[in-house]
Amino acid sequence: MDEKELYEKWKRTVEMLKAEGIIKSEKVERAFLKCPRYLFVEDRYKKYAHVDEPLPIPAGQTISAPHMVAIMLEIADLKPGMNVLEVGTGSGWNAALIAEIVKGDVYSIERIPELVEFAKRNLERAGVKNVHVILGDGSKGFPPKSPYDAIIVTAGAPEIPKPLVEQLKPGGKLIIPVGSYHLWQELLEVIKREDGSIKIKNHGGVAFVPLIGEHGWRE
C-alpha cells in the first residue's frame, strides 16, 4: 500500500471515530489527521494501522487502538502551552499527538531502551521535534519538568501512583488505567484540587499492558 492509500484509509478511520462521537473536538481531529498512526508502526504493520485495534510494537508491547487514544485525549482536554508528561512512550504516537495539541514541548518516559530508540526514530521520521523521550521508570513521574498540567499514563497500574499526583499542578489532571495486571483496568481521571485533595472520575473498563515499576507492578 502506498502512502496515499495509507492516508486515505487513515482519514476514513478519523471520520468513523468522529461519527461514533469518540473524536469530539477539532483539536483532537486535527492532531489525528496531522499524525497518522502508520508513521509509528513497523513497515509490516502499516497496512493495518487504520484498523481500530491495538497493534504490536517491539519488545512485546502495543500501540493503542485509535479510539482509546482519542478517548484519553478528549478527557485530557489539552490546551496550547500546557506542560504534559506521558508515561509509556511505546511508539511515540500518543506523544506526537499531545505535542500537536499543546504546540510545545512534551515529556514522555519509557522503561524499555529498545522502545526509546524506536520512538525517537519514528518521531524523527514524522518530523516531530518537540517530544523529549526519556528512559526511566515513569511510575515515579519525571520530577525535573514538574509540575504538570496533565499526566497521561498509557499502561495499567495497580493503584494511583502517589508521585504522579504530587507532580500535578493544582487543577491538573492525571489520566490512568487502574486495575488488574492482566489486561483489565478502569480508566480514571484524577483531578487535583487547589487544596491538594483529589477528585476521581471513572470512565469505564479498558485493557492496557501493565505499568511496571516502583509505583506500578513488580516485574
State the minimum distance, in angstroms, from the CB of residue 78 to ligand SAM. 15
E strands, the chain, are 55-57, 61-63, 84-87, 106-110, 131-135, 148-153, 168-180, 184-192, 198-206
Residue 167 touching ligand SAM (CB under 6 A): no
Nearest 5°: phi and psi at 180? -90, 165
Judge whether 107 and 145 are in contact, CB under 8 Å: yes
Residue 100 touching ligand SAM (CB under 6 A): no
Give the full edge-to-edge strand order of the sheet including 198-206: 131-135, 106-110, 84-87, 148-153, 168-180, 184-192, 198-206
Pattern 147-166, binding to ligand SAM, x per CB under 6 A? -------xx-----------
State which of residues 36, 138, 177, 179 lies at the interface with ligand SAM (CB under 6 A).
138
Pairing of strands 61-63, 184-192: unpaired
Residue 139 touching ligand SAM (CB under 6 A): yes
* Catalytic residue list contains 64: yes
Nearest 5°: phi and psi at 114? -60, -35
State which of residues 62, 117, 186, 191 lies at the interface with ligand SAM (CB under 6 A).
62
Residue 93 touching ligand SAM (CB under 6 A): yes
What is the rounded distance in angstroms from the CA atom of residue 113 to the CA atom of residue 121? 13
Residue 109 touching ligand SAM (CB under 6 A): yes
**CA atoms lying within 13 Å on the CB side of residue 191:** 10
Residue 122 touching ligand SAM (CB under 6 A): no
What is the rounded distance in angstroms from the CA atom of residue 120 to the CA atom of residue 134? 10
Q: What is the largest CA-CA distance in the chain?
A: 53
State which of residues 10, 31, 61, 174 lies at the interface with ligand SAM (CB under 6 A).
61
Q: Which of 25, 64, 108, 180 is catalytic?
A: 64
State which of residues 13, 91, 167, 185 lies at the interface with ligand SAM (CB under 6 A).
91
State the minimum distance, in angstroms, from the CB of residue 193 to ligand SAM. 26
Residues that bind ligand SAM (CB under 6 A): 61-64, 87-88, 90-91, 93-94, 109-112, 115, 137-139, 154-155, 208-209, 211-213, 216
Active-site amino acid positions: 64
